[in-house]
Structure 1
């Protein structure tokens, strides 16, 4: 169900970003993208361009290229620590991002120091496991 006041973002998906990711205190900003395109939900102030969305979707198909080139999210360039068909772990100085693909969506969680990668990773990976178990 689209929310006309929130630029077409999906109302139900926004709660996953606000409560499950950002509400954990371990993720500073989050987003959920549809694998077929479009942003389903995003934190206020996190703008992911159409080009960045396309690169993120492609990153799961070209993990070697992702390892070599990194990814841009919200205008920020991250280098890749690890990439496979499900998860991509990114770093930018002491901050980072976790990008996880589910059956129908792509979860993005950004974290800032002093949060450490393992703390943020478990939040995004566990939410991905839940969504996969629910068919998403």
Structure 2
């Protein structure tokens, strides 16, 4: 695979629909992220557990909130391969591919639907590439 950082810069933030982004492996290792986004291993592991269908992990995200870089997001949805969270007028869209979790954060000036489409499109592309 090429440079994961380029996906964050071009396919996420570069679209104008995501203000910060990150890509993690399914074992919770950070592959790339925006320079000012510091998602912890614990935060990533909770997301991965929920995306892997662990009921307890999903329940905790709904009851306690989704945390990304210490910022709390209210869970809006958690499905088979996607998670959506809101904080004020901003939010986060998360999608899982075969080998990675793509995280896109949008600020209050960005449309949640556009951010979600951007994150899901990158996940679809990575799946098509075998990732």
Structure 1 position 64, deviation (Å): 3.9
- Structure 1's unaligned 5+ residue stretches are 2-10
Q: Does the alignment pair 1:30 with 2:21?
A: yes
Kindly report the root-mean-square deviation, in angstroms, between the aligned alpha carbons of the 2 structures.
1.4
1:50 to 13, 25, 41: 41
Structure 1 position 67, deviation (Å): 2.8
Q: Which moved more, 1:97-106 or 1:50-59?
A: 50-59
- Does structure 1 conserve the Cα–Cα contact (< 8 Å) formed by 2:21 and 2:33? yes
Structure 1 position 24, deviation (Å): 0.3
1:88 to 69, 83, 86: 83
Q: Which moved more, 1:125-134 or 1:68-77?
A: 68-77
Q: Distance in 2 between matches of 1:72 and 1:86?
A: 18
1:112 to 97, 107, 113: 107
Q: Does the alignment pair 1:77 with 2:88?
A: no
**1:50-80 Cα deviation digits (max 9, x unpaired):** 2111111112123344333321001100011
- Does structure 1 conserve the Cα–Cα contact (< 8 Å) formed by 2:5 and 2:31? yes
- Which protein, 1 or 2, shows the higher relative CO under an 8 Å CA cutoff with sep ≥ 6? 2
Could you say what secondary structure the match of 1:79 adopts? strand
TM-score, normalised to structure 2, is 0.91
- Number of equivalences: 127
